[in-house]
Structure 1
Amino acid sequence: MFFNIQLKRGDCLHIVISNSSDLPIYAQIKEQVKEQILTGELAENETLPSLRQLAKDLKISVLTTTRAYNELEQEGFITSRQGKGFFVMSSGSNLIREQLIKEVEKNLNNAILAAGRIPMSDDEIVSLLKLLLEVDHD
């Protein structure tokens, strides 16, 4: 089932829940919210739905949403503010930064493997990276 949940600042939380997934529902929610934070789809300091509201919107138990939010908070992706709710952490958060660096490393490793199949020299790879960096910042 696919859900679009409108957030206060105009962003939308996209959740797909699959009964045929090997992942439990709380983990499906957690992974999708995490991915939307890492890609910037959910802006820092964005207010997330309350535990009860998310459970109601997804037609699931509050215990399930509580577990998803608790794990996201433990991993540093969201934070709770007493009486105000849950919020997306700043992209300056060390844990979020570490996750993004990990993604860059994975993509660079994939590029190096692809370059090895051509083959490309290290100097050619570095030159291409520098060129891409220049184009990206123009």
Structure 2
Amino acid sequence: MDIIISNTSDKPIYEQISSQIKSQILSGALTCGEKLPSIRALANGVGVSVITTKRAYSDLEAEGFIETVQGKGCFVASGNHEML
């Protein structure tokens, strides 16, 4: 999963992360049930704080794009194509 962060963008970093994950889900690059990187792994990979990635994942979950399974991680939620 490729996430590119721009420090010169007007968008907050958590919005950049969530919008890129959302577009990958809608384009089919990430499929239903696919496991996403852990919050800590994504934070380390992108070079941002854990709090920032947690906020992005929380927003995506609130919008129904991902679901969190306690003790297993975050997964792409099923039924995203109806949102198109």
Same fold flag (TM > 0.5): yes
Root-mean-square deviation (CA), in Å?
Answer: 0.9
TM-score relative to the length of structure 2: 0.95
| Cα distance in 1 for residues equivalent to 2:39 and 2:60 | 13
**Of 26, 45, 57, which residue of structure 2 is paired with 1:57?**
45
- Report which of the two structures shows the higher radius of gyration computed on alpha carbons: 1
Partner of 2:77: 89
| Cα distance in 1 for residues equivalent to 2:75 and 2:19 | 16
Task: Tell me if 1:16 matches 2:1.
Answer: no
**Of 16, 25, 28, which residue of structure 1 is paired with 2:16?**
28
* Cα shift at 1:59: 1.1
Structure of higher RCO (CA pairs closer than 8 Å, 6+ residues apart) = 2
Residue-pair matches, total: 84
* Cα shift at 1:65: 0.3
Q: Could you tell me the percent identity over the aligned residues? A: 56
Runs of 4+ in 1 over 3 A off after TM superposition: none
Q: Whose helix proportion is higher, 1 or 2?
A: 1
